[in-house]
Amino acid sequence: MRTAKTLAFSRVPYIPPPPLILTTSEDVWPKNVGSTEAINSLITPIVLLQSVLLLLLPLEDLVTLYMHYISAALLVSAELFSRHYVSMELTDSAPLVEESDKDIFSMVHLQRHIVALVLHILIAKSVSLLLDLNSTANRVTLAVYTVPILARLAKIPLVHLEAFHNFSTTITVLWAAYYSLRSLPRLLTYLRRSYRSMAHVLFNKGPASAVVEVWQYVYMKPLLLSFWCVLLAAQLYTYYHQQNPLTSSTVVAPVRGTEWYLVLLYAVSEICASYFSLLACSVAVSYTSWAVLNLTKIMAQGSKGLSTGQDLKQAGTGEAVTMALLSLQTGLVDLTMPQRVGAMSIILFIVVGSLLQSMHDIVEPILLALSASHTYVVARHARVLALCTFLFVFPLYMTIFLCRMFEVDFWTLVVVSTCALTSVQVLGAMTVYALFLYDAMQKESGWESLDDMVYIARGITRALEFIVALLVVGAGVRESMLLSSEGRPLSWLNGTVLAVHCYYNVYQRLQSGWSSFLLRRDAAHKIHSLPCATAKQLDSRAHDVCAICYMEMKSARVTPCGHLFHATCLKKWLYVQDRCPLCATKVTVVRSNETAESIQGAEEQFTPDQQINTSEGHAVSSARCDRRLASDGQTNISFVSSNSSPCCILAITMNCK
């Protein structure tokens, strides 16, 4: 992480400004130019090349390049200081200066000589260290600007002092040319090796993987984040400290008498003036979302939240992609400033809605697991419930705010529905949490109606989600009919969005809910068709327990294969598959006389010595039960027994999708 921060900080100043990025070839190489334009046309490609190099070089090579830049700056500063020293000496030796001030060994002159001498030696030493020069000849050559000072101390005539300075400059330039030519083979070898590495990646992994590797290799995300932070800080500084904004600015700084969030919105909108800054803004959204989601997990699970549960390394990527795609779709960069602020507010609203949904996906499993874990630490429950309350209230507030700010049409409902669904899902999760908590408070026995109540709660939640989806479809159909009545053509984008919404959010929800209802109805029918175990049957297996929940059986249902289970446990099992948990015999609806005959035949096959004991039998039944539950990919239910140990809890919560 330190490497990424160092790399991002070292590259930010060299990112080319947006006007330079958008420069065309005609601007770079004009046809008729004067001397100034020719110099500018020559400098522009060099700056672009340096920007690309600083953007793509790895950290080690980037540091080396910076060392050369600093060394060149030091050598230039040495030449300027030497020129200043020579001019000062010539000025002090002018005819109008008193004779006492011309003494080179006076305190003033001696101090000037010593400071100049020490400065040039320090510059030579610094350049030697930066460029890793171990040769004594190189170090002596870099200190060549001490020659004018030594000539002055040797009382050589002043008319030759400038010649000594020119001699030192010539030696420095020749040394720089020699060093560059000597480094050229290493540069060519480095370029050839880099080309081979890139060609190898392109050939073996393809262009997409090559782009991803380059993106990760050069720490592009920290770089773009640093660039965006610099742009935002500069824009805020302009708002607060620029008394008279530039006439070319499209917006007057909305600072005095305005809320801070509006100022921030104006600043974020104004800096998105190029596609490069838009990419940086998307990366900033990604980092912000990642931080919010990790903070949510820490608040819900405590300090150990980051090391347990789902991995959040790629968190925030969806929000960043949403930001980029919506910005490109709306043409955010090409909009003028007032319109850009409005478009940015809508885009950020959608991104925040997606972020709230991601927060709900993190909090809901933690909330349900907390209610089933028999943990009564008030602080843990309070933290999770506070998050759920926020996720229920804030989306509703955003929905009301957007409906008041904008006219409610098809697109507004599409945006608002995301936040409304989040509030509905949070309310459903809190209801299921309350049901599980009530079941955990039953000390003696579990709540037999728990599964039915959970199913009803989730069914109501799914019904509300279905109603919201229908409202969006109705708004889309209504808007299409109004456009047709006015003689305007239908938008293909509206039609595509409406069709996709109808399929995924209406048709699939309806189909999934109906399938779930049929499964529950068939399971209930099978359970009611099975006979209850008699007292004699329960007494003969007094040492045995239910193979699903490991609880004592005071009442049970008998399967056609002769096995006994709790009615509620068996019903939950039949939601998953229609076979016996112990012997895998298919459980079907049979008549009472057929069931009695099959049960009697099954009981005759078992002698007392062959009945399942409490040590081996429990392990076998548990292994079979867990294996069959794990092998079924459509497990949509959740069951928690209040008196069973943690290792014996079978999680099965009905998902009514």
* Catalytic residue set: 546
What is d(CA 327, CA 331) in angstroms, rounded to the nearest whole number?
A: 6
* Helix (H), strand (E) at residue 491: none
* Number of other CB atoms surrounding residue 190 within 10 Å: 12
Residue 565 DSSP symbol: E
Report DSSP letters for 83-150, one per residue.
Answer: HHHHHHHHHHTSTTS-GGGG-TTSHHHHHHHHHHHHHHHHHHHHHHHHTT---HHHHHHHTGGGHHHH
Per the CB < 8 A criterion, the answer to whether 532 and 558 are in contact is: yes
> Which residues neighbour 464 within 8 Å (Cβ) at sequence distance 6 or greater?
424, 428
Helices (H), 302-449: 317-330, 337-372, 378-405, 410-440
What is d(CA 47, CA 134) in angstroms, rounded to the nearest whole number?
A: 31
Closest listed residue to residue 105, CA positions, set 97, 96, 114? 114
Per the CB < 8 A criterion, the answer to whether 271 and 327 are in contact is: no
Per the CB < 8 A criterion, the answer to whether 55 and 15 are in contact is: yes
Per the CB < 8 A criterion, the answer to whether 634 and 431 are in contact is: no
Closest listed residue to residue 262, CA positions, set 280, 284, 236? 236
* Helix (H), strand (E) at residue 558: strand 557-558
Closest listed residue to residue 553, CA positions, set 540, 561, 562? 540
Q: Cα 603–608–612 angle (5° rounding)?
A: 85
* Helix (H), strand (E) at residue 557: strand 557-558
Q: Cα 115 to the chain's mean position, in Å?
A: 54
Report DSSP letters for 53-95, one per residue.
Answer: HHHHS-HHHHHHHHHHHHHHHHHHHHHHHHHHHHHHHHHHTST
